[in-house]
Chain A
Amino acid sequence: MEIIINGQTEQSPPGTIAELVTRKGLAPGSLVVELNQTIIKQEQWQTTSLKAGDRLELLSFVGGG
Protein backbone atom coordinates (compact mmCIF):
# COMPACT_ATOMS: atom_id res chain seq x y z
CA MET A 1 0.00 0.00 0.00
CA GLU A 2 1.02 3.61 -0.45
CA ILE A 3 1.68 5.86 2.48
CA ILE A 4 3.25 9.30 2.55
CA ILE A 5 6.30 9.50 4.78
CA ASN A 6 7.83 12.94 5.30
CA GLY A 7 6.14 14.18 2.16
CA GLN A 8 7.31 11.29 -0.05
CA THR A 9 5.00 8.55 -1.28
CA GLU A 10 6.36 5.13 -0.33
CA GLN A 11 5.26 1.55 -0.81
CA SER A 12 4.80 -0.08 2.55
CA PRO A 13 3.47 -3.48 3.62
CA PRO A 14 0.55 -3.31 6.05
CA GLY A 15 1.57 -3.22 9.69
CA THR A 16 2.00 -1.07 12.74
CA ILE A 17 4.17 1.97 13.30
CA ALA A 18 6.44 -0.15 15.49
CA GLU A 19 6.97 -2.56 12.61
CA LEU A 20 7.73 0.26 10.20
CA VAL A 21 10.25 1.79 12.61
CA THR A 22 11.99 -1.57 13.00
CA ARG A 23 11.94 -2.27 9.27
CA LYS A 24 13.54 1.08 8.53
CA GLY A 25 16.12 0.56 11.23
CA LEU A 26 15.30 3.86 12.92
CA ALA A 27 16.50 4.65 16.42
CA PRO A 28 13.26 4.87 18.43
CA GLY A 29 14.76 6.89 21.27
CA SER A 30 14.90 10.15 19.37
CA LEU A 31 11.98 9.56 17.04
CA VAL A 32 8.80 11.63 17.13
CA VAL A 33 5.94 10.22 15.07
CA GLU A 34 3.00 12.19 13.78
CA LEU A 35 0.25 10.32 11.93
CA ASN A 36 -2.26 12.42 10.01
CA GLN A 37 -1.32 15.40 12.20
CA THR A 38 -1.76 13.52 15.47
CA ILE A 39 1.20 12.63 17.65
CA ILE A 40 1.51 8.91 18.29
CA LYS A 41 3.39 8.27 21.50
CA GLN A 42 5.91 5.49 21.58
CA GLU A 43 3.68 3.35 23.83
CA GLN A 44 1.07 3.36 21.06
CA TRP A 45 3.35 2.44 18.16
CA GLN A 46 2.65 -1.29 18.55
CA THR A 47 -1.11 -0.84 18.52
CA THR A 48 -1.34 1.77 15.77
CA SER A 49 -1.79 0.23 12.33
CA LEU A 50 -1.04 2.09 9.15
CA LYS A 51 -3.50 2.21 6.29
CA ALA A 52 -3.22 3.29 2.67
CA GLY A 53 -3.04 7.03 2.20
CA ASP A 54 -1.79 7.76 5.73
CA ARG A 55 0.48 10.74 6.09
CA LEU A 56 3.29 9.97 8.45
CA GLU A 57 5.86 12.41 9.73
CA LEU A 58 9.03 10.98 11.22
CA LEU A 59 10.68 13.76 13.17
CA SER A 60 13.46 14.29 15.65
CA PHE A 61 14.98 17.10 17.65
CA VAL A 62 18.09 18.62 16.18
CA GLY A 63 20.42 21.47 16.97
CA GLY A 64 18.85 24.88 16.52
CA GLY A 65 18.89 28.38 17.92
Chain B
Amino acid sequence: MENDVLKIGNVAFTNRLFTGTGKFAANTLIPKMLAASGSQMITVALRRIDQAAQTENILEYIPKNVTLLPNTSGARTAEQAVRIARIAREAGCGDFIKIEVITDMKYLMPDNLETLKATEILAKEGFIVLPYVLPDLPLAKRLENAGAAAVMPLGAPIGTNRGLETKPLIELLIENCTIPVVVDAGIGRPSQAAEAMEMGADAVLVNTAIATARDPEAMGRAFNLAVKAGRTAYLAELAEQSGLARASSPLTGFLD
Protein backbone atom coordinates (compact mmCIF):
# COMPACT_ATOMS: atom_id res chain seq x y z
CA MET B 1 0.00 0.00 0.00
CA GLU B 2 2.94 2.35 0.63
CA ASN B 3 3.70 2.34 -3.07
CA ASP B 4 0.06 2.56 -4.09
CA VAL B 5 0.18 5.91 -5.79
CA LEU B 6 -2.45 7.50 -7.99
CA LYS B 7 -0.90 9.71 -10.60
CA ILE B 8 -3.10 12.38 -12.14
CA GLY B 9 -1.36 14.86 -14.38
CA ASN B 10 1.98 15.63 -12.77
CA VAL B 11 0.87 14.92 -9.20
CA ALA B 12 1.19 11.64 -7.31
CA PHE B 13 -1.54 11.13 -4.74
CA THR B 14 -1.05 8.70 -1.87
CA ASN B 15 -4.55 9.40 -0.56
CA ARG B 16 -7.52 8.52 -2.74
CA LEU B 17 -10.15 10.61 -1.01
CA PHE B 18 -10.72 13.90 -2.79
CA THR B 19 -12.85 16.45 -1.00
CA GLY B 20 -14.78 19.66 -1.61
CA THR B 21 -15.06 23.01 0.16
CA GLY B 22 -18.80 23.54 -0.37
CA LYS B 23 -21.42 23.74 2.40
CA PHE B 24 -19.14 23.88 5.45
CA ALA B 25 -20.73 25.79 8.32
CA ALA B 26 -17.42 27.66 8.76
CA ASN B 27 -14.23 27.81 6.71
CA THR B 28 -12.24 26.98 9.84
CA LEU B 29 -13.61 23.42 9.59
CA ILE B 30 -11.88 22.89 6.25
CA PRO B 31 -8.25 22.58 7.45
CA LYS B 32 -9.39 20.33 10.30
CA MET B 33 -11.27 18.13 7.88
CA LEU B 34 -8.26 18.02 5.54
CA ALA B 35 -5.96 16.96 8.37
CA ALA B 36 -8.37 14.27 9.58
CA SER B 37 -9.20 12.92 6.13
CA GLY B 38 -5.68 13.07 4.71
CA SER B 39 -7.24 14.38 1.51
CA GLN B 40 -4.65 15.73 -0.92
CA MET B 41 -6.97 17.39 -3.43
CA ILE B 42 -9.91 19.70 -2.80
CA THR B 43 -12.36 21.52 -5.03
CA VAL B 44 -13.19 25.23 -5.00
CA ALA B 45 -15.61 27.29 -7.08
CA LEU B 46 -15.31 30.74 -8.68
CA ARG B 47 -18.07 33.31 -8.28
CA ARG B 48 -18.77 37.01 -8.63
CA ILE B 49 -18.09 38.72 -5.33
CA ASP B 50 -20.86 40.22 -3.26
CA GLN B 51 -19.69 43.85 -3.17
CA ALA B 52 -21.83 44.53 -0.12
CA ALA B 53 -20.27 41.79 1.99
CA GLN B 54 -16.68 41.25 3.05
CA THR B 55 -15.98 37.62 2.36
CA GLU B 56 -13.14 35.46 3.58
CA ASN B 57 -10.54 34.10 1.19
CA ILE B 58 -11.27 30.40 1.14
CA LEU B 59 -7.82 29.62 -0.29
CA GLU B 60 -6.28 30.72 3.01
CA TYR B 61 -7.92 27.73 4.67
CA ILE B 62 -6.33 25.20 2.32
CA PRO B 63 -2.78 24.10 3.17
CA LYS B 64 -0.27 24.58 0.35
CA ASN B 65 0.47 20.86 0.07
CA VAL B 66 -3.14 20.17 -0.93
CA THR B 67 -3.79 20.33 -4.68
CA LEU B 68 -6.53 22.74 -5.69
CA LEU B 69 -9.17 21.47 -8.05
CA PRO B 70 -11.17 24.50 -9.16
CA ASN B 71 -14.48 23.57 -10.73
CA THR B 72 -16.36 25.25 -13.55
CA SER B 73 -19.68 25.16 -11.72
CA GLY B 74 -22.07 27.78 -12.99
CA ALA B 75 -21.03 27.06 -16.58
CA ARG B 76 -23.92 26.14 -18.87
CA THR B 77 -21.83 25.77 -22.01
CA ALA B 78 -18.38 24.51 -22.97
CA GLU B 79 -17.38 28.09 -23.74
CA GLN B 80 -18.24 29.26 -20.23
CA ALA B 81 -16.40 26.32 -18.69
CA VAL B 82 -13.30 27.16 -20.73
CA ARG B 83 -13.49 30.77 -19.59
CA ILE B 84 -13.76 29.80 -15.92
CA ALA B 85 -10.87 27.35 -16.28
CA ARG B 86 -8.62 30.00 -17.80
CA ILE B 87 -9.53 32.47 -15.04
CA ALA B 88 -8.80 29.90 -12.35
CA ARG B 89 -5.39 29.13 -13.81
CA GLU B 90 -4.52 32.80 -14.27
CA ALA B 91 -5.57 33.39 -10.69
CA GLY B 92 -2.87 31.00 -9.55
CA CYS B 93 -4.90 27.88 -8.86
CA GLY B 94 -2.68 25.61 -10.93
CA ASP B 95 -3.47 23.47 -13.95
CA PHE B 96 -6.09 21.16 -12.48
CA ILE B 97 -9.67 21.79 -13.52
CA LYS B 98 -12.88 19.92 -12.80
CA ILE B 99 -15.19 20.48 -15.73
CA GLU B 100 -18.75 20.79 -14.58
CA VAL B 101 -21.27 21.94 -17.16
CA ILE B 102 -24.86 21.85 -15.96
CA THR B 103 -28.04 23.11 -17.58
CA ASP B 104 -30.48 20.88 -15.72
CA MET B 105 -31.16 22.64 -12.45
CA LYS B 106 -33.55 20.00 -11.15
CA TYR B 107 -31.19 17.03 -11.00
CA LEU B 108 -27.93 18.91 -11.69
CA MET B 109 -27.12 16.34 -14.36
CA PRO B 110 -23.89 17.17 -16.19
CA ASP B 111 -24.18 17.95 -19.89
CA ASN B 112 -21.86 15.31 -21.31
CA LEU B 113 -21.63 16.85 -24.79
CA GLU B 114 -20.61 20.32 -23.61
CA THR B 115 -18.25 18.67 -21.14
CA LEU B 116 -16.53 16.79 -23.95
CA LYS B 117 -16.16 20.00 -25.98
CA ALA B 118 -14.62 21.82 -23.02
CA THR B 119 -12.27 18.89 -22.35
CA GLU B 120 -11.01 18.94 -25.94
CA ILE B 121 -10.16 22.63 -25.71
CA LEU B 122 -8.66 22.67 -22.21
CA ALA B 123 -6.54 19.54 -22.60
CA LYS B 124 -4.92 21.17 -25.63
CA GLU B 125 -4.14 24.22 -23.50
CA GLY B 126 -2.24 22.06 -21.04
CA PHE B 127 -4.85 21.82 -18.32
CA ILE B 128 -5.12 18.68 -16.21
CA VAL B 129 -8.75 18.04 -16.99
CA LEU B 130 -11.09 16.06 -14.75
CA PRO B 131 -14.53 16.05 -16.36
CA TYR B 132 -17.59 15.40 -14.21
CA VAL B 133 -19.97 13.24 -16.24
CA LEU B 134 -22.85 10.84 -16.33
CA PRO B 135 -21.20 7.44 -16.62
CA ASP B 136 -21.28 6.62 -20.32
CA LEU B 137 -18.55 4.35 -21.68
CA PRO B 138 -18.33 5.66 -25.27
CA LEU B 139 -18.19 9.21 -23.92
CA ALA B 140 -15.51 8.24 -21.42
CA LYS B 141 -13.40 6.83 -24.26
CA ARG B 142 -13.85 10.08 -26.18
CA LEU B 143 -12.75 12.03 -23.11
CA GLU B 144 -9.73 9.79 -22.84
CA ASN B 145 -8.85 10.43 -26.49
CA ALA B 146 -9.40 14.14 -25.97
CA GLY B 147 -6.71 14.16 -23.28
CA ALA B 148 -8.71 14.05 -20.06
CA ALA B 149 -6.49 13.20 -17.08
CA ALA B 150 -9.27 11.28 -15.34
CA VAL B 151 -13.00 10.78 -15.69
CA MET B 152 -15.37 11.55 -12.83
CA PRO B 153 -18.71 9.74 -13.13
CA LEU B 154 -21.50 10.55 -10.71
CA GLY B 155 -22.83 7.90 -8.34
CA ALA B 156 -26.06 9.82 -7.76
CA PRO B 157 -27.14 13.45 -8.27
CA ILE B 158 -25.05 16.09 -6.46
CA GLY B 159 -25.81 16.43 -2.77
CA THR B 160 -28.30 13.58 -2.62
CA ASN B 161 -26.19 11.19 -0.52
CA ARG B 162 -27.88 8.25 -2.23
CA GLY B 163 -24.73 6.32 -3.06
CA LEU B 164 -23.83 4.32 -6.16
CA GLU B 165 -27.08 4.36 -8.10
CA THR B 166 -25.11 4.17 -11.34
CA LYS B 167 -22.89 1.33 -10.16
CA PRO B 168 -23.16 -0.99 -13.21
CA LEU B 169 -22.31 1.87 -15.56
CA ILE B 170 -19.37 3.01 -13.46
CA GLU B 171 -18.09 -0.56 -13.50
CA LEU B 172 -17.93 -0.42 -17.29
CA LEU B 173 -15.77 2.70 -17.05
CA ILE B 174 -13.48 1.06 -14.51
CA GLU B 175 -13.08 -2.02 -16.67
CA ASN B 176 -12.44 -0.19 -19.91
CA CYS B 177 -10.82 3.17 -19.25
CA THR B 178 -7.08 3.67 -19.20
CA ILE B 179 -7.40 6.97 -17.34
CA PRO B 180 -8.29 6.98 -13.63
CA VAL B 181 -11.96 6.78 -12.69
CA VAL B 182 -12.96 9.01 -9.78
CA VAL B 183 -16.49 8.55 -8.46
CA ASP B 184 -17.83 12.03 -7.82
CA ALA B 185 -21.20 13.11 -6.42
CA GLY B 186 -23.83 11.21 -4.56
CA ILE B 187 -21.61 9.34 -2.14
CA GLY B 188 -23.32 9.83 1.21
CA ARG B 189 -21.71 7.32 3.53
CA PRO B 190 -18.24 5.93 4.15
CA SER B 191 -19.58 2.46 3.30
CA GLN B 192 -20.53 3.74 -0.16
CA ALA B 193 -17.05 5.17 -0.64
CA ALA B 194 -15.62 1.80 0.39
CA GLU B 195 -17.93 0.10 -2.09
CA ALA B 196 -16.70 2.33 -4.92
CA MET B 197 -13.08 1.62 -4.02
CA GLU B 198 -13.70 -2.14 -3.66
CA MET B 199 -15.02 -2.26 -7.20
CA GLY B 200 -11.84 -0.64 -8.45
CA ALA B 201 -12.51 3.08 -8.60
CA ASP B 202 -9.21 4.94 -8.47
CA ALA B 203 -10.52 7.57 -6.06
CA VAL B 204 -13.72 9.17 -4.80
CA LEU B 205 -14.66 12.81 -4.41
CA VAL B 206 -16.85 13.57 -1.39
CA ASN B 207 -18.13 16.98 -0.37
CA THR B 208 -21.71 17.16 0.98
CA ALA B 209 -21.51 13.98 3.05
CA ILE B 210 -18.52 15.35 4.95
CA ALA B 211 -19.32 19.07 5.01
CA THR B 212 -22.88 18.68 6.26
CA ALA B 213 -22.23 15.93 8.81
CA ARG B 214 -22.64 17.09 12.40
CA ASP B 215 -18.87 16.65 12.83
CA PRO B 216 -17.12 17.15 9.47
CA GLU B 217 -13.69 16.47 10.95
CA ALA B 218 -14.71 13.07 12.29
CA MET B 219 -16.60 12.28 9.10
CA GLY B 220 -13.51 13.12 7.09
CA ARG B 221 -11.60 10.62 9.20
CA ALA B 222 -14.33 8.01 8.66
CA PHE B 223 -14.22 8.49 4.88
CA ASN B 224 -10.44 8.24 4.89
CA LEU B 225 -10.64 4.87 6.66
CA ALA B 226 -13.40 3.66 4.35
CA VAL B 227 -11.49 4.63 1.21
CA LYS B 228 -8.37 2.90 2.52
CA ALA B 229 -10.40 -0.21 3.46
CA GLY B 230 -12.05 -0.36 0.05
CA ARG B 231 -8.77 0.19 -1.79
CA THR B 232 -6.99 -2.46 0.28
CA ALA B 233 -9.82 -4.91 -0.40
CA TYR B 234 -9.63 -4.22 -4.13
CA LEU B 235 -5.88 -4.84 -4.18
CA ALA B 236 -6.34 -8.00 -2.09
CA GLU B 237 -8.86 -9.22 -4.71
CA LEU B 238 -12.27 -10.12 -3.35
CA ALA B 239 -13.23 -13.73 -2.82
CA GLU B 240 -15.91 -15.14 -5.10
CA GLN B 241 -19.62 -14.97 -4.37
CA SER B 242 -21.65 -18.15 -4.36
CA GLY B 243 -25.35 -18.96 -4.50
CA LEU B 244 -24.99 -21.87 -2.13
CA ALA B 245 -23.35 -21.98 1.27
CA ARG B 246 -19.74 -23.11 1.47
CA ALA B 247 -18.82 -24.27 4.95
CA SER B 248 -15.95 -22.43 6.56
CA SER B 249 -15.37 -25.24 9.07
CA PRO B 250 -14.48 -28.82 8.04
CA LEU B 251 -17.50 -31.00 7.19
CA THR B 252 -15.82 -34.14 8.53
CA GLY B 253 -14.76 -35.32 11.97
CA PHE B 254 -18.05 -34.44 13.71
CA LEU B 255 -18.69 -35.82 17.18
CA ASP B 256 -21.40 -38.50 17.28
Contacts and interface: CB of A to CB of B under 8 A. Distances in A.
| Consensus secondary structure, chain B interface | mixed
Interface residues of A, number: 24
Given A6-B49, A31-B49, A59-B46, A64 B57 contact: no
Contact of B22 (A5, A30, A32, A64): A64
A59 B48 contact: yes
B233 interface: no
B65 interface: no
Nearest to A40: B90
Contacts, number: 98
Given A60-B49, A63-B45, A30 B57 contact: yes
Given A59-B46, A59-B48, 6 more contacts: A25-B54, A60-B46, A61-B57, A62-B55, A63-B30, A64-B44
B22 A6 contact: no
Nearest to B68: A61
A39 B81 CA distance: 15
Contacts of B24: 63
Contacts of A2: none
B90 A41 contact: yes
Given A24-B51, A31-B49, A32-B91, A63 B58 contact: yes
Interface string B208-220: 1001000000000
Contacts of A32: 46, 87, 90-91
A29 B73 contact: no
B44 A62 contact: yes
Interface of B: 20-24, 27, 30, 43-49, 51, 54-60, 70-71, 73, 83, 86-88, 90-91, 93, 158-159, 185, 205, 207-208, 211
| Consensus secondary structure, chain A interface | mixed
Most buried by A among B23, B49, B73, B207: B49
A24 to B, nearest CB: 6
Given A37-B83, A63-B21, A26 B91 contact: no
Given A34-B87, A59-B47, A65 B20 contact: yes
B43 A64 contact: yes
B90 A6 contact: no
Contacts of A5: 51
Contacts of A58: 48-49, 51
A51 to B, nearest CB: 20
